[in-house]
Structure 1
């Protein structure tokens, strides 16, 4: 998948700049950046279930270990 992104970025950049040494170097840079961004996106998608699981575990632990705060009745006034 990432190789395909690299080829597409390289080809499009060569079409835009023409075939020269500067054009080839620019195409390599653009294709590498495109692969880097695509790789980061793929890693986020791959790790998303584990990140959600970690958030759920932390939430459950905080709910279990939360101190019990007494609930006061706010609207009940004394008549003193």
Structure 2
């Protein structure tokens, strides 16, 4: 999938700039940027279930765990 994005970006950039050394270099940069963004998007979609699971686990732990009550007896050391 990502290789296809790279080839499409490279081809489109070559069609826009024409075939020259500067055009090929520009096409490489644009195709690499397109592949980078596509890869980040694919990685985000691939990791989305795990991120949702982590959010659900934290939510459940915070809902079940009682809030911490401060211990005020530390100030009453000398009371008998």
Using structure 1 for the length normalisation, give the TM-score. Answer: 0.82
Q: Output the CA distance in 1 between the equivalents of 2:38 and 2:25.
A: 20
CA deviation vs aligned residue, 1:33-78 (integer Å, no higher than 9, x gap): 000000000000000000000000000000001339xxxxxxxxxx
What is the CA RMSD across the aligned residues, in angstroms? 1.4
- Structure-to-structure mapping, 1:1-80, within 5 angstroms: 1-67=1-67
Q: Output the CA distance in 2 between the equivalents of 1:66 and 1:33.
A: 48
Q: Output the CA distance in 2 between the equivalents of 1:67 and 1:29.
A: 53
Please list every run of 5 or more consecutive structure 2 residues that lacks an aligned counterpart in the other structure: 69-80
